[in-house]
Each structure stands twice: as C-alpha cells, then as structure tokens.
Chains A and B, each alone.
Chain A
C-alpha cells in the first residue's frame, strides 16, 4: 500500500484531531495511555472487522456499521470524544489508506514511507499531549510527517535507508526481549525438571511390550493439539512429581522475576520511591523549587501522584492519600515534617498546624516546609516541639475546622497547641463569587467545588516552576459586587470559622493561634520579579484585613522589608523564606500558648 501526499495530509489531520481529543481528556498521561490502549484495541478489532467485510464483498455501508459499533464500544470505555475519534478514524483512515492513485500532478510515494509517517504521527500524538510540549513540538513532528511523505515521493532511497536502520534497531531490541522471555520459559520447562533429575517426557509403557495403549483413537482434525498428549495413564508417584515440578517451576519463575526486579532496583541510581530517605540527608539547606534543583523532578512527580491519589470529600474537601517518595511523604493525611531528634524526646509537645497550600508546602521538600521550619527554629531555641502539618492545598478556614475535628477524633493524642496559618484562600474564594452564579456567603461548598481544579492546575504549574498568573475572568460580571464588599464578606466568613474553632478547641482546653498569612496583595511595594496586583485586589484585601477576627496575628507585612522577590505567585514562597515565617509563628506561639513552650523548654533531648 502506498502513501501518497494526500494520505500524508490526511494522516497529519488525524494527528491533530487525535491530539485535540487527547488534550481534552481529563487527567492527561496515565489516563491517556490507558485510553489510547483501549482505543487501539477497538481500532484493531474495527480494522479486522473492516477487513472481514472487504473479503466478503459486503456493501460499503457495512463500514459505517462497524465504525458505529466500534465507536459505541469506545464510548463505554473512554467517553464521547474518543468515541468520536474512533468513528472518524475508522471511516476516514481506510479511505485515506486505500491504494488509490494520487491526485493529478502529485507523485506516488514509496511504500517504505508508510511506516515513518504512521510512526511519527503516533509519536506526535503522544508527545503533543504532554504538558510543556505545546505547539512547537507538535508542529515539528507534523513537519517530520510531512517531510517523510515528501521524501517518499521524491527521495524514496532516503526513506528506505531510514526504515532499514529502524528495522535493525527494532530487530535487535525485539530479539533481546524474545531472548529474555525465552529464558524465563526455558527456566520453567527445562531447568527445573533438570535440577530435579526428573524427565517429564517419560511415558509409562507396558514394560513387556514397550507400547502405550491409546485412550482416544478418534481423529480430531479441528484441533492443533492431541488429546492424548497429556493424558497418558500416570502412576501416582508420577503425578505427584509432576505437580511438584509445576509448583516449583512457578516458584522459580516468580523468584527470577522478583530477583530481577530487586536487582534492577538495587542498581538503580535513585532510591526506590517506597522508602523515604532520612530527613535532610541530601540537601541541608533550603532552596528554590527550580527545575535545575536535583530534587525538583522527584518532588514534581510525587506532587502529581499526590493529586491523582487524593480524594475529594464534600465534607472537608481534598483528602490526601498516603504517599511515599524521597521528598514528599504523607501518612494518615499528615505531611511528614522535620522532627528534632528521634528516640530521646519521647514526649515532645505537639503543635498541629493547619492551613492551605502554603502550610502544605507546594514546591517544598518535607523537611523545609513551614512546619519543619517552625520545628527547627523551636529546637534551635531550646524549646523542641513536634509540629504536625495538616495543611492541604486549597483549604479555607472552615475546612481546617472540619479537618481538625477529624484529626481530634481519629488520633490517640490531642495537640498541645494548634496553629492556623491562612486567610488568603478565604479571600480568594469569596472573590470568586464575582463571577460565580452558584453559592455565595453561607454556601462555601459551591465555590470550593468550582475552584478545586483551577487550584490543582495552579499548584501543578508552580511545581513545574512555570510562571503562573491567577486567571480571573474580569469580563464576567454576573454577580457583581464591589471589591470592598467582597473583602468584608470574606472576612465575615473567616470570622465565623474562627468562632467555630474557638468553640471546638476551647471545649477541649487546647490553646491555638491564628495567623493571617502574608500575601503579595498585602506587600506594601512589590519588587521586580513579582506579579502586579490589581487595585481591586488591594481594595478587597484591605477590607478583609480590616475585619480580621479578634486575636488573629496579622503577618501581612512580614516581607515588607525584604527587597528581593519573595512570592512566586500571589501567595506561595520558596523554602528559604519559611525560616522567617517560622520565627514569626514561634513568637506567636510563645505569646498565645506559653504553656506549650514551657513544656518544650523542659525537654531533655539528646
């Protein structure tokens, strides 16, 4: 089958169409891969069905029936868009790949170009779905597809040479794979019986005659195997050895597989993700979450995994699943943080810290989050405490209360003090009411639900080290409110949450401190390298700040004296700034929960 330039164009179109579908698929890569496999399976079945139709000279309309059936199957597996893609592909692809003469004036392509064209088309499809590849890679690969189409037409020898080279490489790789599979099979069928000195080919014959009586003598022309082959009359001992060999064979194969996996793991330069390294083992100083950092990729991957494996609860919002990785570890919804020493300080006072993504520490390693920084500062101060981080990206004050409730119920030990470090999310969500036609004051679930995905998107972007600007569609004014009014509304909600927290903790006699976190909106004078803040946002923040709950420690101006850029976006900072935050938090704790610090000062840790 030849690939004409026209077909190349169609294939390129398919790539673009496929990419569009893949991009619209929620979740991207893992789901895309699984979905693509499912779609490929359906496509194979559909192609086989089409070939079947063709062989039987069925009416061309049958193609459409097959296409519709394939699309229906895909709909069940992957959703509407993939189904549409299958429908289009199964109708268009056979037409495109049909061996027809090229359009007048166009040369005929060499058949060798078909492989590269299809291969690069698929590669383009796959890569273009990856974050960060954007249109440049896409365009380049589509260009390659077009190039191979043209080479197939005008310089077929080049294409043939390329195909030969690829064939050689693929053959070598495939040969290696076959050899590996063969080794495992060989180990099972040959090595084990040999080790046992057992001959599976031994057939019990009449010792007098040397012949074996057949059980089944009728012909079986439809089968590829002989019924009697494995049904020779065996002695009991033979059966036992046969079963033992099977079990041992399977055990050896399992052992080989496990051993190979372990060996690969042992030889791997990176430690396995299931084992977290000791705190601060690699980098002993806080750093910037930039892509050049040696730990960035691992942290970024773990962050992606965290979002994937978390669940969304209507009661509390995001609930983090357990996660083990070199730099991001979560156990029982608590992010691991720095602990002063191990073993000797058996009864460290516990401080539970609640907040949003800043407390969680987006783009920060376990032992350089705010909680870790607080613990380290306290230890350095001679008042070691155990700071447990329950910060969850996106949390607002009322969610923190729910989470606190959960923790109090589920944990054996109550905290000695609680720290709330928040404010930004509360204001941000309320400001979202400007364009929301759902919810409002008193109905926080709506906005949270709606904003959940953008928050993840934002955090992902931060973790990737990309620039990020909060996308606020200013043109939509379905629920117009003045910024100052919104700020006050947010503050009112914030106050309500504070009251709830006071009740919750007061009943248990647990001291707490609430900090209004510093944000770019509160910074007196933004410096170069930080984002601009709109006047509306400043107005809104000022209103919010003016109505903070009583007792709240306002850290708004914490970085006002810092001439370097602090904020990577509106609120998040790098690891290095956490020391400054930690000192403020520790100071607040000493003021509002002196008993805790006193207890901490009595600790004798080695």
Chain B
C-alpha cells in the first residue's frame, strides 16, 4: 500500500503581508511572505511568487495540493466593512465608492483567484478553497506549532472579521475560542492610530513607535484612556464617536488634536518630545491591556502556558512584561505573528481541526517547536551564489573550511566591521534570525548610529537587537526563558549597565548615550530585544557567536535584518549583493563565500562606469 501525503496550501493576502505556507501531513515545510518575492514591502497582493516558492520548497506540484486554506472569511469582512462605514455618515461615501468595488473584486473573489493561480501553475483540478476565521488562523498559528500540549491562546491584532482579539483554550488538536473583543474596540487599531498620529506609516511603523516609546514619558496616558478605556481585564472600550477607524478625516479632528498635544506629525517633520510621549503613552496602554488580556486568558483557561499571535503580539516589550509579570509559566509567540503567519495557521487549523488529524504529544515544554526556527523560506545553492556574484562582476573568496570562515568573520566583527550574513533558508516573519542578517559588534558605542544611518538608512533612535548564545543569555539579561524569535524584550542585567552622567533632552542625542557594555543593542531604557540562539536551532550562527565569544568574551552580536530602509529582507544572493553594496558593508558572507566590502564598492564603481 502506498502512503499518500496530504498537502495543504495556506494563504493570506489582500490586507497586508500576503504569505503562503505549505503543510504536508501536518508539518510546516515551507512558508514565504510575498514581499520577499515581489520586493514590495508588506505586499498584500495575491502571493503568486510565495505560492510558487512554497510548492517548490515542498517538492510538490500545484496539482498535488489537496486543500487550500484561506486565512479569513471574506464575506464577513465585507459585511463588517459595510456596517462600519456608517460611522462616517455622508463623509464615508467617497471611501465607500473607492473601497467596495475593490473588496468585491478581490476579497470576495479570492477563492476564484486562488484556484486560477493554481491552474496557472499547472493544477488541472484545483481544490475548493476553504476559509478559516481570521483569529482562528492566528490562534492556530500560535498554538499548533508551539511546544505545548495544551495552552491558553491569546490573539490580538487590528481587526479580523469582527474580532479584534480572542481568548481561547487549546488542547491537542482542538482550539476552543471562549471570548472575543469586537470591532470597534481594538488595541491594534488604537496603536496604529497613534502610529499614524506620530507620522509613521500604519501597519509598518508600529515598531518605530515601540522603539520611540522609551524616550518619552506617558503624559498622554489619561488622554488615550479617555478615547479607549481599558477595563482592567484586557478589554478596551473605544469611544467610537471620537475614534473613527478607517476615516482619514479623523486625523484632522481638532478635538483629538487638542487632546493629543497638537495635530499629527507629518512624515518629514522632526521628532519632538510630544511624539516620544505619545509613543510612551500608547505603549503603556498597550502593555496594560495585553497584560490584562493575559490575565483574563489565565482566568478563563487555567492553563500554565500561553501562546500568542496577531500583529499586537509582535509588541515584544509587552510580551516581556507578560512573561515577567503575568500568571503564565511559559510563553510562546508565533514568530510570524502578523497576518503573514496566518497562512501557516489557516493550513494547520484545516489539518488539525478541519480534517481532525492527530497532533503529536508535546511532552517537553522547552523542546523545539514546529516552526523549524523560523527558517522556512527558500535557500540558495552554491551555484546561485556563484551566479549572483558573476552577474555583479564580483569574485568572492571561498572559505577553506567552516572553521576558517567562522574565525575570519568573528575576527572582522571584533574589529568593528559590519558583516552581511546570508546563510541557509530564509526566515519567515518580520525578524532576521541569523540567516539573512546584518551582524556587528554590540560593544561598539558608535555602531548604532553608524548602522542606522549609514547602512540601513533608518531613524537613528531605533535600537538593535542582540543575538546571544542561549546559555549566556541569563548572564546578560534578566531573562529565564528562551527567546529564539526575538519576540521578548528583557532588561540588561544591572552589572552590565553603565551610569549615565547627563541625560540629554533631545531624543536623538539620548539615543547616542551608551547605556551598557553592549551599547549597540541596549535601548535607552536599558532593555534589549533578545534572540537566544542554540546549536540545535542554527548551528552555524551559533558557532559564529561562540567564536566571537572566544575572541572577545562577549557572547552576542548585533543582529538586524538584511535590508535597507523601506525594503523587505533579502531573499536571494543577488539581492544580498545589491543590499550589501548599497549599504556599504565591510564584508558579505554568502554561504561559504566571502566578498570584501572594497570589492563590493569597486564592483559598484565599475557598474557605474559601464552605465556612464
């Protein structure tokens, strides 16, 4: 008898962060965000490239896909949209006319579009698309890959169909959604609103707001509470008459401007104390609500572990507080907690709940999860590397062996150089976890500004994260749990903090003040967004950290995503070469091949000459 495999394709798209995932017999074998293929950040379009890449990674043809799971219920989304328009009254007519045809032609037609895509990829009879509720997709993405056999599940994001947050109890292959918070009461939308008020792009700039928060004081907290009152149990009562979600004119509301210390900041205006204080206030509110929601989840489920997903779960500062102050012993956050990860969740929900398939017993809570360290994207072969270098007119140097490669790179990092690190399969989710990373020495006090401004071209106040050898994490940070996906913020231990003699008033000046012996990855409040690395999860990256530790006594490196400002993380060697060249990196490591920064720049000059 020939065993047949069940292939499920999970897809999310049409709002933001489109993605695809392939689950074969319950195992997540591939997951790719569309932005990595299309090179359009937060690309929401039908994930044509991602589906193609996932099928190739899984080694299955389009005609072998047995089920297609979509991450939300489009009809309910449309109904909610229609109902929500009334808040704007006649003012909403224009946006209504603009949005509804799009919603109808994209959201409602998603089943047809997906089947046509599979047909274009060679499927003779694509399966009928099945729809998993938005927050169930999040919950499934949070629980099924987790290392827990049962857990409480908390999902929070801007909005799904009607839900904006859910609390669920999960056990084996079942998730029971117990309570939900419904539109318009939404922490995610509130956070995005303040993001927009501070002059950042919603659905993209929330990280910046989180990074800006420690620079300010929460003096607008009462104002925000008046707009959205936390109930204390994780609930949020939004004053929908004043906060009109999806109504662009809400940003021109003079009443809100009076409440929030002035009109919204424009994107090109300088940062001021007001923005920092607004960020601090929003962050404080978010942390309180999330902590309250965690407590509510504990109260309802009586579980000792918590799984989280949804865009709000990417708030690693709040996650850290939940871990430290919350009632749960363990916390696992889906690395692609946003809508991209819902592609995985939808597929897993269909497998376990829809098809009622067994989920292996998790006996070891601290064991590995089912996300394969987040390395679910495409890899590049040696031939791909050689081809990319050839196209760029570069000749890299092949390392003699692994040991020589690691020694060289570690030494160069210790010398203060910035290294582009491109290895193995690409990460799935917003974080670079050591395979598509820019690495640097965290001890260098000038590194943050240098990396932010020169290499990545982003705001200089934004902190960098450390990737630390898991066994040394506790020595440097107040962290007693693994944080393999960089989704928990922990304070740097007191013994590594440096005294600050004078605190500058200016936000940007404050960011340049060293706070610890690893200043490049220590935020202004003495915290760090930690990634713990083990030899099992990423052997080569761990070995590099170990080699750096041997050389310097510092078991960590700055690990930031391999991209430039406004671009997605690189996926292919060619993209890595271009990014390294434009970012002015000192060394690029593509698998076993090293490319010197000087060569990169020379190649760029040659290219310019050719063009000239």
Contact = CB atoms under 8 A, between A and B. Distances in A.
Contacts of A223: 73, 75, 131
A178 B177 contact: no
Contacts of A210: 181, 185, 230-231, 233-237
Given A200-B86, A209-B231, A219 B353 contact: yes
A414 to B, nearest CB: 64
B582 interface: no
Contact of B85 (A183, A186, A220): A186
Contacts of B406: none
Given A211-B179, A219-B349, A224 B131 contact: yes
Interface in B161-188: 161-162, 166-168, 175-185
A221 B90 contact: no
A126 B178 CA distance: 61
Contacts of A214: 166, 177-180
B132 interface: yes
Interface stretch (B92-100, B324-332, B359-367, B384-392): B92-100
A222 interface: yes
Interface in B46-89: 69, 73-76, 79-80, 82-89
A232 interface: yes
Contact of A217 (B88, B93, B177): B177
Interface residues of A, number: 44
Contact of A186 (B97, B177, B234, B237): B97
Contacts of B136: 219
B130 interface: yes
A534 interface: no
A209 B182 contact: no
A209 B229 CA distance: 11
A179 B180 CA distance: 35
A194 B100 CA distance: 18
A58 interface: no
Contacts of A346: none
Interface string B113-156: 00000000000110000111100100000000000000000000
A190 B73 contact: no
Contacts, number: 156
User: Number of contact residues on B: which range applies?
Assistant: 35 or more
A193 B86 contact: yes
Contact of A219 (B92, B133, B162): B133
Contact of A211 (B76, B88, B162, B233): B233
Given A189-B86, A211-B296, A219-B354, A229 B161 contact: yes
B182 A217 contact: no
A190 B162 contact: no
Contacts of A193: 86
Contacts of A219: 132-133, 136, 175, 349, 353-354
Interface in B214-273: 230-231, 233-237, 240
A193 to B, nearest CB: 4
A266 B136 CA distance: 55
A213 B179 contact: yes
B354 A221 contact: yes
A55 B118 CA distance: 14
A201 B231 contact: no
B183 A201 contact: yes
B499 interface: no
A229 B79 contact: yes
A580 interface: no
A208 B233 contact: yes
A226 interface: yes
B296 A199 contact: no
A228 B166 CA distance: 13
Contacts of B88: 190, 194
Contacts of B82: 185, 189-190
Nearest to A187: B93
A471 interface: no
A235 interface: no
Most A CB contacts (10 A, CB to CB) among B86, B124, B233 go to B86
A213 B237 CA distance: 16
Interface in A179-212: 179, 182-183, 185-186, 189-195, 199-203, 205-212
Contacts of A182: 96-97, 100-101
B131 A221 contact: yes
A56 interface: yes
Interface of B: 69, 73-76, 79-80, 82-90, 92-93, 96-97, 100-101, 108, 111, 124-125, 130-133, 136, 161-162, 166-168, 175-185, 230-231, 233-237, 240, 296, 349-350, 353-354
5 contacts: A185-B82, A186-B100, A221-B353, A224-B131, A225-B76
Interface of A: 55-56, 178-179, 182-183, 185-186, 189-195, 199-203, 205-214, 217-226, 228-230, 232
Given A200-B83, A226-B76, 19 more contacts: A179-B97, A186-B93, A190-B89, A194-B89, A201-B87, A207-B231, A210-B181, A210-B234, A211-B179, A211-B181, A212-B181, A219-B349, A221-B69, A221-B349, A223-B131, A224-B74, A224-B108, A226-B133, A226-B161
